[in-house]
Amino acid sequence: MPSSDRLRIAALADLHYARASQGSVQSLLADLPDNADVLIVCGDLTHHGLAEEASALVKELSVLRVPVLCVLGNHDVHGDQQEEIHRILVEAGIHVLDGDAVEIRGVGFAGTKGFASGFGTRVLEPWGEKVVKQFVHEAVEESLKLGSALARLRTPQRIALLHYAPIAATVEGEPPEIYPFLGSSRLEEPLNRYGVTAAFHGHAHHGKAEGRTSAGIPVYNVSLPLMRSLGGERPYRLLEVAVTPPPPAH
Query: Mean pLDDT across the chain, nearest whole number?
Result: 95
Segment 123-152 mean pLDDT: 96
Which stretches within 70-194 are classed as H helix? 82-91, 130-151, 188-193
Q: Domain residues of the chain, as ranges? A: 6-242
d(C-alpha 160, C-alpha 199), whole Å: 5
Segment 77-104 mean pLDDT: 97
Contact 57, 88 (CB under 8 A): no
Contact 106, 112 (CB under 8 A): no
| 51 closest CA partner among 86, 97, 22 | 86
What's the pLDDT at 244? 74
Confidence at 82, pLDDT banded by 50, 70, 90: very high
What's the pLDDT at 4? 77
Query: For domain 6-242, is the CATH number 3.40.140.10?
Result: no
What's the pLDDT at 245? 66
Parallel/antiparallel/unpaired status of strands 100-104 and 107-111: antiparallel
d(C-alpha 67, C-alpha 64), whole Å: 8
Residues recorded for the chain: 250
Given a cut of 60, whether residue 25 has pLDDT beyond it is yes
d(C-alpha 47, C-alpha 65), whole Å: 24
What's the pLDDT at 129? 95
Segment 225-241 mean pLDDT: 94
Given a cut of 90, whether residue 248 has pLDDT beyond it is no
Contact 139, 163 (CB under 8 A): no
d(C-alpha 102, C-alpha 38), whole Å: 12
* Predicted structure pTM score: 0.95
